[in-house]
Amino acid sequence: MAAAHKNLLAVWAKEPKDVAAVEKALNDLTTALGSASSGLDEKQAALASKDVYEISVLLAIVKNDFDSFDDYINQVNTYYTMVPQNSENKHLMTGLQLMFLLAFNRLSDFHMLLEQVPQREQTSNAYISTPVRIEQSLMEGAYNKVVLTEKNIPSPFYSVFIRIMLDTIRREIASSIEKSFKSLTAKDATVMLLFDNDQKMLKYAQDRKWRLDGNRFVFEVEAAQDKPVNLDTVRIATQTLFYAKQLEQIV
């Protein structure tokens, strides 16, 4: 088992991640842990189990396999409860779970989990304070702050969840724009949709079937013609533009 454990750590440390190799190493160590003649004492076996659980969580993120992530994160939490002395990575795992719950709009579960975290850690620990700040930004409609968060994350594994949130945010803002405006300058659309260059904006506009007339996007969307404008929708769209322009002035 010692060799299997060492191999897992070595394979996982390599960049870029070789998913197939990591999966094989995980399976080999899991099999060894289940063997009566594993060759490790209780303490060593507990450490090996910890690495299996934690690497399984992180590998699920690498694979974008969020059903497995949900299963593995619960397993690692159970492990931490049973073996608290090996929970030095608990803040990272809790932070990733909070990011996952935010990204998939499971807000009740997010707040239930957050209630289990001491108040001091919610503000002082970067793994925890990051999802807390993102949730606050989402509630305020300050979506550009979510973009900025990706440049200052405590772990690269947070990025995938931020991108999921941004995809959702862009869909909501784009829908708001279509319902709230007949046309919008390409520059303002780029800012409102949180893109950092015109090419990404143009590609997104094409996917939404927006028509570019000069330097303005014209929205020929049935929903904008048939449905009355929702005041909250207008607020979200204009507030997003306000925050973004304020940020430009600061920079």
pLDDT at res. 246: 54
In this structure, are residues 11 and 25 in contact, taking their beta carbons and an 8 Å threshold?
yes
Supply 51's token pair: 């690495």
Q: Is residue 222 part of a domain?
A: no
Pull the structure tokens for residue 99: 């990011």
For residue range 157-180, what is the model confidence (pLDDT) as tens digits? 999 999 999 999 999 889 989 988
Number of domains in the chain: 1
User: Are the C-beta atoms of residues 146 and 162 closer than 8 Å to each other?
Assistant: yes
Domain-embedded: residue 50: yes
Q: Are 177 and 219 in contact (CB under 8 A)?
A: yes
65 domain residue, yes or no = yes
DSSP letter at 218 equals E
Tell whether 25 is covered by a domain: yes
Q: CB neighbours of 52 closer than 8 A, spacing ≥ 6?
A: 8, 26, 29, 30, 33
Query: Residue 142: what pLDDT?
Result: 86
**Residues 79 and 113 sit within 8 Å (Cβ to Cβ):** no
Residues 15, 18, 19, 22, Cα dihedral to 10°:
-90
Q: Per the structure block, which two tokens stand in for 205? A: 């506009």
Total residue count of the chain as it appears in this document: 251
Amino acid at 27: N
Strand partners, 217: 184, 212
Q: Are 143 and 240 in contact (CB under 8 A)?
A: yes
The ranges of the chain with pLDDT < 50 are 223-231, 233, 247, 250-251
Would residue 53 count as lying in a domain?
Answer: yes
Give the 3-state secondary structure of residue 212: strand
Structural domain contains residue 7 = yes
pLDDT reported for residue 235: 58
Contact by Cβ (8 Å): 41, 2 = no
Which domain, by its residues, includes 52?
Answer: 1-88
66 occurs within a structural domain: yes
Spatial CB neighbours of 117, under 8 Å, sequence gap ≥ 6: 94, 128
Q: Is residue 180 part of a domain?
A: no
Model pLDDT for residues 184-223, shown as the tens digit of each residue: 999 999 998 999 899 999 999 999 999 999 999 999 755 4
